[in-house]
Structure 1
Amino acid sequence: MEVSDYINKAMNFAENAAKLSQKMSQGLVENARELGFPGGGGDSGAQYFDTSEEKMRNIKRQLDSKNDREKLDGLKRLIAMISKGRDVSEFFPDVVKNVVSQNIEVRKLVYIYLLRYAEQEPDLALLSINSFQKDLSDKNQIIRAMALRVMSGIRVPVISPIVLLGIKKCVTDSSPYVRKTAAHAIPKCYSLDDTQKDALIEIVATLLKDRSNITIGSTIMAFNEVCPNRFDLIHPCFRKLCAVLADCDEWGQMAILGLMLRYGRTQFLNPNPHGEDQTRVAPKSSTVVKSRAFYSDSDSSDADQNGAVIGDDVFEMDEDHELLLKSCIPLLQSRNSGVVLSVARLFYHLAPASQAEKVAKPLVRILRNHREQQYVVLNNIATMSLRRPYLFESFLQQFYVQSTEPVFIRDIKLTILANIATDSNIHVLLNELQQYVKSPNKDFVAASIQAIARCATIVPSAADRCLRLLMKLLRSSNELVVAESVLVVTKLLKDTASENKNSVIALAKLLDTIKVPTARANILWLIGQHAETLPQVGPDVLRQAVKNFANETNNTKLQIITLSSKLISLNPTHTTLNLLNQYVLNLARYDLSYDVRDRARFLRALTIPTEDKPGLDELKTHVQHILLNDKSPAVIENQTDDAFDYTIGSLSLLASQPLPGYEPLPDYPEEQPDASVRDVEELDGWSGSRTTMMATGFGSDSFEARYRGDRGGGFSSNASVALSGVEAMGNAYSSSMATKKKNGDYDLDAFYDDEDDDDEEDDSSEDDSSDDVSSEEDSEGDDSDEESSQADGSSVDESGSDEEEHDVVTSNGPSSNSPIVELK
């Protein structure tokens, strides 16, 4: 046997061994998958992100498998690829087949997939409409909610009536999570078919009466999309919204605050009728008289009780207006920057100017955040500080620029520092700005120079010091620094050049060294504007400027011929000036720029004698008034001046222009609207006037079961309870009155007994109340089971849907004022 035969046999043996090993490994993987073990090594979740071609070919086989574990594995792979941004819409027909699966986990993943691709494949998604309608009656609240989400996500106008029916059914669902999903589906249905607007408005009106804090935020979002100006729907629940504002989720709080701002601008009078919000001076703190409520603090002053106030101007604020402002104050401690900014917007546009200072410290607090959020907050602070600098005057050091900050943060901080400059802090501020000028960043130095100039215009008493500081910068070796200094010095010397002749002469000497066209043009304009007070400077500057006329830019050429004409208007008989004027006009006559040629033609007719023409002689008599007017040069203004007309916290304020979807705030009414529209009777689940929303507990420790179970009617285990009157007044009253009952009602006589008998009565009443409570709990439990089964249309799975429902519905926990229940 030759060597080649041995080699061929060895290769065949190796090939057969490899095939056998591959078959054995595939068999082990299949067995492990059937047993529920992860198919890959290492990380058990990494297998779902494997996008190799072999795995992709197996997904269809897994989706068509009869084994739920196989389907679940294939769906997990699809969801993992969706999270990575990969398009897997090719599997849509295979996924739709599993929408009727009895496995809850499989159906959840199918719904997630359908939510992603329902708009791309609307025809195939219609095949599962019947399954969605059946799932609306499922015992699991998650399935009911996801079925409505997918059904409302199918963008086919034909099914809009079916979506509307599904929304109406879910609005009356016992789960707040499902009702929240129904509120989210309202804008989708409206955008799909706007002819359903009237029916959707009725649904929104129903949801506004909902007792759960979970649904109210989504309801307000739906209200803003469908009927944002139907304030007649808000009147009955205005005080309820104020009461539950602190208990809503963060996004719901921002939606409610935005609605309340628009509502307040149309239903309340201007709290600053004398323009306190339009001046830079801090208003008096006692210009607002607040109506005294029936329940008020006993230790208040006599002046407040009588409605008296120190000052000449008196304004009486509506009670609901005051209630809205008080309800927003706790939200200033929120960790969400959007919530704090929404409260600041409401206080800035709706509160008295004397109360707006409450938002300054929270706004400064949220500056310690990511730089993108910091930039948004700083822009709003810069706009607010234009009219109300006293709000942030005490936080001057918080706006100092740091070396590690990006350029856009530095610039907006410089704007704020200039806005809040006052006589008391100008010296500290100028010392800080003087250090910024030493920065190696040229753009930052230029912005600092502009900030110094703005300080001089805002605080006139510090104009001389700012001017001296800027004149020092003219000797800098940096051309950009010198150019910016010239621009701002020209602006400052516009009206005071006669008092600062040395400064103007120093600028004239810089014409030989300054090469920046804008700076040269501004110096020539300033010298021509004050040529009468500086008769020796103007002609010499003109003589030097004419030498290099052909090499100047267009703006500089225009200022040279204008300077020549100004000097001729002041000295019409001066021979040398007439020759210089005629020479420069001849040069401009043949210039390449038509602007320069037109300017030269106009000034030639005014300054050079010609034959008599009708009207020209009369025009020449006003030549000084025409040329020596008080027109200021072009100087860069504050960037936030254009953004002041936009609402605080809006995207249009950042862009300084109205963006699509922006609506300006409505003006205040001239007369007080009818306030009685908000005086409504106590409805089912909440009170129109004094309401405290509390979530019920679980089991026998429920507040309803202990204190109100004997008043008839069963209560849902997940519903929140509205307390009014004595019940909402806190721990002291509720804990004491709960143990003093007579025939199922509160015994006021026992409550007012002597203190010596309290201990004995408490001991005896606890035994009685425990018996009453146990019987009430049993009766209430039976009633609640019957109600929940009727609402779902099927039997309730205690271990399934109810437990998941509690996980979603649970609120912020017991209030600090709620009575403490001892578990036995």
Structure 2
Amino acid sequence: MQTQELHAELISDKRDAKHTRKRNALKRIVANMTMGNDMLPLFADVVACLQIPMLEVKKMVYLYLIHYARSRPQLAADAISDFLRDLADPNPLIRALALRTMASIQTPQIIDSLQQPLARCLEDSDAYVAKTAALCVAKVWVQDRERIQSSGTLNLLHNLLSHENPNVVANALVALAEIYQRDGSDHLPQLVVEYSAMSKYLVALDEASEWSQAYILESILFVVPQSHADAEQLAERIVPRLQHANSGIVLTTIRVLAYLTHYIEAKEVVSRIYAKMEPPLITLLHSEPEIQFVALKNIQLLIKKQADMFKSLGAKPFFCKYSDPIYVKLAKLEIIFHLTDDYNVEQVLTEVEEYANEVDVGFARRSLRTLGRIAIKIELATDRCVAALRRLIETQVNYIVQEAIVVIRDIFRKYPNRYEGMIAVLCDNLAGLDEPEARAAMIWIIGQYAERIDNASDLLNQFAATFLESAAEVQLALLTATVKLFIKRPSAGQALLPRILKHCTEDVDNPDIRDRGFIYWRLLSTDPVAAKAIVLSQKPVMNVEGESMEPALLEDLILHIATLSNPELAGLYLSRRPAVHRRLAGLADGRAGNSRPATRH
């Protein structure tokens, strides 16, 4: 019934000079379409409204066309004559709107009829039409790259780089970057922007919109400085953008500065550039939580790249506020760990211990882990960390106790035979252990110090009672701990070991557990001396979790600051490295500025 009413309104011949009825009908159609109601039966009536010479009406009709044209490509083709008429309209807004709509529909008939108008709009005298046409070239390239290349449209797009309007230049740069990175073949050479051209673009930055400023800055990633002086000069010219109110421009500037530092030899200059990034990043921490999170995740990358960043400020600017969302708190906690050193460790430990008493269980657990990581990272703070963990265990909060056991296991691995006094405290809290990781950690401690725990056999028997119902990591830990007990105290372990080996080799389906059971059984049966040497061998050095990152991966991620390529914001690695990253690989080999043939602008 509603469709019939709208149809009647759209074809009404009643006198209406301002087309109020049709405008209201179109608004209702767009609203229904947005809510998912089927408005396709009105396709012909809506397209007929393109005859109305009003921008508001055309916007709604074009929105309708984009929504439905792909399901009815033939009906969309019937509107081509209306599109072409609007492309010749004296109003530049209508010309740009028609062009953008045609490029968005992307049916074969529309693409075919778009070629000549697109070339004409690229040379349009109006800057708004020209910058719209630039982006449309990138859209059409996805569907018909051969025609774009053979028709000379790509050359017209290159010509826009010398346009007097900075917003047009920015759109042309964006379109070219998209085209060259999407190509994925040798049809197009590597895109490189000339240093001299870049200097001209930077002069126009103050006149460009914020969106255009961000993309003009980003285009520096396609500049290959031919000398260290060129790189330093470019860096100095864009450093003032760090003070911009727009967080996108700030983060883009940081990304570009990080790229330029690859071409600068003087370490003091590089350190000075990174130091200038610190105040704007701290300022972003006073923004909305979402912006704070993006800033924090990128700060983590920068600290991994430049270890001395924020050292002068210390960890205090990153201390958590009670009102921070949990995702911001967790990001801050990671940065606090990286910035902890011998000078501020006392202050940090006091703060992190307080976090471990938070009501949010996830944050409290992560804080406990951070205490352990600090103890492993800074030996001078280990005694203080262990004392803090003891106090937290005494609270008798179950999840705190279980997390603390995992943390203390790692401390024992890093500093063997130093904190055995904690073993008695841990053994008093076995009753509440129900998490696999905590149970496995406690079993490891019992096995590692079996010769010093008088009732080690009884404790392991408690865990063995539920062996078949336990998680695989608990079963593996119990198997190894029982073998250690037998090797260190044969009389205490001789009753338990056969039972555990029988479970592992006969009652368990997990191949890892079964194979390890057979290995231990044969070792103990054939060569007990070798078994002792293997089971009680020197443990690998305990490293701090998350301290390092593969250099190539870090370089890629640094060049994608403020994008979804950050490992915490999206996927961990890129399926294809763009040309700019290949140039950095060449730079690392001493071939900067002399890479494969490039298209320069």
**What TM bracket, shorter-length normalisation?**
0.7 to 0.9
Residue matched to 1:482: 401
CA contact (8 A) 1:479 1:516 kept: no
Give the match's secondary structure for 1:231. strand
For residues 118 and 400 of structure 2, the distance between their equivalents in structure 1, rounded to whole angstroms, comes to 65
- Asked if residue 495 in structure 1 is aligned to residue 495 in structure 2, the reply is no
The residue identity in structure 1 corresponding to 2:533 is: H
Residues 210 and 578 (structure 1), Cα distance of their counterparts in 2 relative to 1, 3 Å cut: same
Deviation at 1:147? Answer: 2.8
Give the match's secondary structure for 1:227. helix
Alignment of 1:302-321 (within 5 A): 318-321=228-231
2:517 to 581, 597, 600: 600
Deviation at 1:187? Answer: 1.5
CA contact (8 A) 1:368 1:374 kept: yes
1:525 to 413, 422, 444: 444
> Which deviates more from structure 2 when the two are superposed, residues 148-157 or residues 463-472?
148-157
Residues 579 and 161 (structure 1), Cα distance of their counterparts in 2 relative to 1, 3 Å cut: closer
TM-score calculated relative to the size of structure 1: 0.62
CA contact (8 A) 2:131 2:171 kept: yes
1:140 to 70, 85, 91: 91
Alignment of 1:405-554 (within 5 A): 405-511=324-430, 514-530=433-449, 535-537=451-453, 540-552=455-467, 553-554=470-471
Residue matched to 2:562: 649
Give the match's secondary structure for 2:302. helix
Residue matched to 1:365: 283
CA contact (8 A) 2:70 2:105 kept: yes
Deviation at 1:186? Answer: 0.6
- Uncovered stretches (5+) of structure 2, i.e. residues with no partner: 182-188, 262-269
2:536 to 628, 633, 638: 628
Alignment of 1:36-435 (within 5 A): 56-62=6-12, 67-70=16-19, 72-79=20-27, 81-83=29-31, 85-86=34-35, 87=37, 88-101=39-52, 107=58, 110-111=61-62, 113-198=64-149, 199-228=152-181, 230-232=190-192, 234=194, 237-261=197-221, 263-264=222-223, 267-268=224-225, 318-351=228-261, 352-393=270-311, 394=313, 396-435=315-354
Deviation at 1:124? Answer: 2.6
Give the match's secondary structure for 1:622. helix
Q: Say what the alpha-carbon RMSD is for the aligned residues.
A: 3.5
1:56-78: CA deviations, max 9, x gaps? Answer: 3542233x5574423x4313431
Larger Rg: 1
1:656-688: CA deviations, max 9, x gaps? Answer: 42367775833252134269x99x9xxxxxxx9
> Which deviates more from structure 2 when the two are superposed, residues 196-205 or residues 134-143?
134-143
1:109-138: CA deviations, max 9, x gaps? Answer: 544544554444432332343343344333
Give the match's secondary structure for 1:658. coil
CA contact (8 A) 2:135 2:171 kept: yes
For residues 516 and 119 of structure 1, the distance between their equivalents in structure 2, rounded to whole angstroms, comes to 53
Deviation at 1:602? Answer: 2.2
The residue identity in structure 2 corresponding to 1:330 is: P
CA contact (8 A) 1:145 1:177 kept: yes
1:728-764: CA deviations, max 9, x gaps? Answer: xxxxxxxxxxxxxxxxxxxxxxxxxxxxxxxxxxxxx
CA contact (8 A) 1:242 1:324 kept: no
For residues 130 and 402 of structure 1, the distance between their equivalents in structure 2, rounded to whole angstroms, comes to 60
For residues 410 and 260 of structure 2, the distance between their equivalents in structure 1, rounded to whole angstroms, comes to 37
1:158-204: CA deviations, max 9, x gaps? Answer: 44343221122112221111111111211222123121242332122
The residue identity in structure 2 corresponding to 1:238 is: M
Higher helix proportion, which one? 2
Residues 598 and 356 (structure 1), Cα distance of their counterparts in 2 relative to 1, 3 Å cut: same
The residue identity in structure 1 corresponding to 2:205 is: L
Deviation at 1:416? Answer: 1.4
CA contact (8 A) 1:75 1:110 kept: no
Residues 592 and 142 (structure 1), Cα distance of their counterparts in 2 relative to 1, 3 Å cut: closer
Deviation at 1:214? Answer: 2.0
The residue identity in structure 2 corresponding to 1:242 is: L
Give the match's secondary structure for 2:18. helix
Deviation at 1:215? Answer: 0.8
1:27-58: CA deviations, max 9, x gaps? Answer: xxxxxxxxxxxxxxxxxxxxxxxx96785354
The residue identity in structure 2 corresponding to 1:626 is: I
Between the aligned residues of both structures, percent identity stands at: 25
The residue identity in structure 2 corresponding to 1:217 is: A
Deviation at 1:591? Answer: 3.5
Residues 139 and 640 (structure 1), Cα distance of their counterparts in 2 relative to 1, 3 Å cut: farther
For residues 206 and 186 of structure 1, the distance between their equivalents in structure 2, rounded to whole angstroms, comes to 13
1:392-413: CA deviations, max 9, x gaps? Answer: 3416333222222222222112
For residues 473 and 415 of structure 1, the distance between their equivalents in structure 2, rounded to whole angstroms, comes to 21
For residues 55 and 501 of structure 2, the distance between their equivalents in structure 1, rounded to whole angstroms, comes to 90
Give the match's secondary structure for 1:651. coil
Residue matched to 1:735: none
Residues 218 and 81 (structure 1), Cα distance of their counterparts in 2 relative to 1, 3 Å cut: same
> Which deviates more from structure 2 when the two are superposed, residues 339-348 or residues 553-562?
553-562
1:780-817: CA deviations, max 9, x gaps? Answer: xxxxxxxxxxxxxxxxxxxxxxxxxxxxxxxxxxxxxx
For residues 570 and 205 of structure 1, the distance between their equivalents in structure 2, rounded to whole angstroms, comes to 77
For residues 630 and 186 of structure 1, the distance between their equivalents in structure 2, rounded to whole angstroms, comes to 63
- Uncovered stretches (5+) of structure 1, i.e. residues with no partner: 1-50, 270-316, 609-615, 681-687, 689-824
For residues 133 and 542 of structure 2, the distance between their equivalents in structure 1, rounded to whole angstroms, comes to 57
For residues 364 and 476 of structure 1, the distance between their equivalents in structure 2, rounded to whole angstroms, comes to 36
Equivalenced residue count is 562
For residues 452 and 371 of structure 1, the distance between their equivalents in structure 2, rounded to whole angstroms, comes to 25
Residue matched to 2:593: 673
CA contact (8 A) 2:257 2:273 kept: yes
For residues 161 and 584 of structure 1, the distance between their equivalents in structure 2, rounded to whole angstroms, comes to 74
For residues 3 and 141 of structure 2, the distance between their equivalents in structure 1, rounded to whole angstroms, comes to 42
CA contact (8 A) 1:190 1:200 kept: no
CA contact (8 A) 2:254 2:277 kept: yes
TM-score calculated relative to the size of structure 2: 0.83
